[in-house]
Amino acid sequence: MHADWITYLNTQTLVDQLPTNDQAIIAPLSHLAVLLVSGKEAATFLQGQTTCDIKALIDSEPRLGAYCNAKGRTISTFIVIKLQETYQLILTKDLLDSVRKKLQMYVLRADVQLTDLSDQLCIIGMHNVELTAQMNLYPYPQQDNSYLFIAEPSQAQIFCTELQEKHTAQFVAADTWLGLDIQAGIPWLFPETTEKFVPQMLNLDKLDAISFTKGCYTGQEIVARTHYLGQNKRAMYRASGTTEGVINKGCSISDSNNPEAELGAVILSTRHDNSAQLLLVLKDQALQAKNLQLNNQNHDKIILE
């Protein structure tokens, strides 16, 4: 993140839970970053690399998508925003550099530039606000009354100040915003979970993040086969639990009656006090288990929602 933005955030109090009322909230989405894809052949290039239909995008209307390896395993999920002839890929900052390097391998002689804008642009999430259309403001996928604001630090500070004044908006931490993503079923990936799941295991087909008519892209054959032959034996679910310990990304899940058999893994988690919300990828047989647990230090029990 840009130093000026970090300095500004240090002057704010970031609460670690969502308000119980409908108060407007602002979240600096520090776990996300922007990879800009530009050049005359940017659309064609991304069309051949991602699960979503890039050529069907409408300016300033974000869409969920994924980037897969040749075996159809999801390297990264992302939100893509088309801005005329350029594309902003919003993904977890921990994966941005590796994604940029993998994509660069396919650029070859195409007129495509991949630019890491992590230090130039701030990403802000807003919820429970009614805003009029303006530059740098976009609807947040899968969440009602939620928006993304993506701009340089000076613009971001002005925008946040106005939100606080006009809407009495409360700053919340990025981990708190993940609670909204969990409720919406948005599966952000990190180094611990990259290249482990085909997109359908992450419910990306249900989130309209996969086009089955756009044609070829990296990993498309496996993704299509999974879809048309019904070979997917895992899916993503929300869960809750009580824990005093850390829940690591990718933490495995088992049944306490058979702890040696791995039934799934944690994709996302957020915690307030001892209450945790989770997104899990589970094998079909896990739905029959009566005593699901995390394979963390305390073997915390979890309940599917």
Do 159 and 271 lie in one domain? The reply is no
Q: Given a cut of 80, is residue 1 above it in pLDDT?
A: no
Question: Which pLDDT score, from 0 to 100, does residue 63 have?
Answer: 97
Question: Which pLDDT score, from 0 to 100, does residue 103 have?
Answer: 97
What pTM does this model have?
0.95
Span between the terminal Cα atoms of the chain, in Å: 35
Residue 78 lies in a domain: yes
Range of the domain at 156: 24-184
> Please, is 292 exposed, middle or buried when counting C-beta atoms within 10 Å of its C-beta (0-12, 13-18, 19+)?
buried
Give the pair of three-digit tokens for residue 21: 């009322």
Q: What is the mean pLDDT of residues 156-173?
A: 90
Which residues make beta-bridge pairs with 287?
A: none
Average pLDDT, the chain: 94
How many angstroms separate the CA atoms of 224 and 216, rounded? 10
Q: Are 121 and 135 in contact (CB under 8 A)?
A: no
Boundary (domain end) residue, out of 125, 153, 184: 184
Tens-digit pLDDT profile for residues 228-264: 988 789 999 999 999 988 899 999 999 998 888 999 9
Residue 97 binned pLDDT confidence (cut-offs 50, 70, 90): very high
Cβ neighbors of 114 (< 8 A, separation 6 or more) are 35, 36, 37, 100, 103, 104, 107
Residue 131 binned pLDDT confidence (cut-offs 50, 70, 90): confident
Q: Are 263 and 284 in contact (CB under 8 A)?
A: no
CATH number at residue 289: 2.40.30.110
Residue 44 lies in a domain: yes
Question: Which pLDDT score, from 0 to 100, does residue 230 have?
Answer: 82
- Closest by alpha carbon to 178, among 92, 274, 294, 67? 92
